[in-house]
């Protein structure tokens, strides 16, 4: 079953994804989405009869170390390699704006 999107659906998808699309770019976005849907239809039409499902079978679980807090004997050396350090903590750039 082939699916397509039109201009209005493209705008609704962009809004749902919180994307700002300039009016002159809506057609290009619509064409790109339709290309993806065409490819999905091609994949859906493939004859996979007799093809085994792809699964990853692990023979055994990976070994895990116990989760135990450790003291670092060379703390000063470790801290000296940090880009920014404040008190007892690394200072990292803000990635989420307060608001």
Show the domains of the chain with their CATH numbers. Answer: 7-44 (1.10.20)
Supply the mean pLDDT for the chain.
85
Per-residue confidence (pLDDT) for residue 90, from 0 to 100: 78
DSSP assignment string, 11-49: HHHHHHTT----GGGHHHHHHHHHHHHHHHHHHHTS--T
pTM (global) more than 0.85: no
Kindly indicate the confidence band of residue 58, based on its pLDDT and cuts at 50, 70 and 90.
Answer: low
Q: What token pair was written down for 1?
A: 């079953």
State the CB neighbour count (10 A cutoff) for residue 10: 21
Kindly indicate the confidence band of residue 22, based on its pLDDT and cuts at 50, 70 and 90.
Answer: very high
Q: What token pair was written down for 10?
A: 């493209």
* pLDDT above 90: residue 74: no
Per-residue confidence (pLDDT) for residue 1, from 0 to 100: 63
């Amino acid at each position: 079953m082939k699916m397509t999107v039109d201009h209005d659906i493209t705008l609704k998808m962009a809004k749902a994804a919180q994307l700002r699309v300039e009016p002159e770019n809506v057609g290009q976005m619509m064409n790109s989405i339709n290309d993806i849907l065409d490819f999905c239809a091609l994949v859906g039409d493939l004859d996979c009869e007799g093809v085994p499902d792809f699964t990853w079978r692990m023979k055994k679980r990976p070994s895990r170390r116990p989760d135990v807090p450790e003291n670092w004997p060379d703390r000063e050396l470790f801290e000296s390699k940090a880009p920014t350090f404040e008190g007892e903590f690394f200072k990292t750039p803000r990635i989420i704006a307060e608001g």
